[in-house]
Amino acid sequence: MGYVLLGLVIVAALIFITNIKVVPQAHSYVIERLGAYNSTWSTGLHFKIPFVDKISKKVSLKEQVIDFPPQPVITKDNVTMQIDTVVYFQITDPKLYAYGVERPISAIENLSATTLRNIIGELELDHTLTSRDVINTKIRIILDEATDAWGIKVNRVELKNIIPPKEIQESMEKQMKAERERRAQILTAEGEKSSVILIAEGEKESAILRADAKKETQIREAQGEAQAIMLVQQAYADSIKLLNEADPHEGVIALKSLDAFTKAADGKATKIIIPSNIQSIAGLAASVKELVTDDPKPVE
């Protein structure tokens, strides 16, 4: 009898221990009691009534990412392409997630595919390729409203790849190649234009500098000539001043005048009129020169 009681105690202890549950961080457990929803366990230590309570669903509250396979869609201009989407979502209500819809991930996939087809069907190919942000926003809003009843919050939707038909890809590549060649030609033409402009500006600046240099040279030459004339005139004035201060005799003045007339003639004049007073001085000077140049006779 004692062994039976001991066995019952051990079994009861094992049942008690096995029904102690610890809910980890960022998780929730949905608890059913006798087949009906009873409560939602959050993070911490909990005890489940044996044979009465049941953990119906373990839910992760972390943000999750689902990468759906490519879906065939048709644009407004009848171009069939393949688009795959990535959905970022988070469970906000474990109870609704557990009882709101059967296989919620599959439901989100099918809903995103149909929403994507509806949105792409209203757009042309070129607009589809350049409007990813608009398409992402529209899909996210529609999915978020639809999944709210399932306890799911859709945070972001991204179009991962847009794969147009092969012939469209080849046409786009040719178009891009032509566009790159056009841009290269434009850049080349702009470079040549800039080069010609720079050369012309350089020649213009060079001509201006040469003209300025020539002008500066002429100005300096004129200033030098003017300064030379001023110096000559100043020297002549100084000589006259010194001559006046020396109070020269009339004969010296006459000789200076004669010398001035000689320089004025310079061997080119055919006739020079000399005043009478200078003529007499000139005759006296000639007589003195003859006396000086005559050979003296030796004295016997």
Which pLDDT tens digit goes with each residue over 66-119?
998 888 998 888 888 899 899 999 999 999 999 988 889 899 999 999 999 999
Confidence of residue 153 (pLDDT cuts 50, 70, 90): very high
pLDDT at 175: 81
Whether residue 167 has pLDDT greater than 90:
no
pLDDT at 237: 78
Whether residue 297 has pLDDT greater than 50:
no
Instruction: Pick 77 or 274 by higher pLDDT.
Output: 77
Whether residue 279 has pLDDT greater than 80:
no
Q: Which of 85-99, 174-188, 230-244 has the lowest mean pLDDT?
A: 230-244
Using CB atoms within 10 Å of the CB of residue 151, give its burial: 0 to 12 exposed, 13 to 18 middle, 19+ buried: buried
What percentage of residues in the chain have a pLDDT greater than 90? 32
- Strands across the sheet containing 36-41: 36-41, 27-33, 53-60
Q: Enter the tokens of residue 196.
A: 């010609």
Confidence of residue 270 (pLDDT cuts 50, 70, 90): low
Span 123-147, mean pLDDT? 89
pLDDT at 238: 78
**Strands 44-47 and 36-41, sheet pairing:** unpaired
- CA dihedral (240, 243, 248, 254) positive or negative: negative
Span 116-145, mean pLDDT? 90
- The alpha-helical segments, DSSP class H, found in the chain are 2-18, 94-99, 104-120, 125-130, 132-147, 166-246, 250-265, 276-293
CB count in 10 Å sphere of residue 49? 12
Span 40-50, mean pLDDT? 91
Instruction: Pick 27 or 238 by higher pLDDT.
Output: 27
How far apart, in whole angstroms, are the C-alpha atoms of residue 257 and residue 243? 13
Element (H, E) at 163: strand 152-163
pLDDT at 164: 84
pLDDT at 284: 46
Average pLDDT in the chain = 81
Whether residue 214 has pLDDT greater than 80:
yes
Confidence of residue 233 (pLDDT cuts 50, 70, 90): confident
How far apart, in whole angstroms, are the C-alpha atoms of residue 151 and residue 108? 12
pLDDT at 277: 53
For the chain, what's the residue count? Answer: 300
How far apart, in whole angstroms, are the C-alpha atoms of residue 78 and residue 120? 11
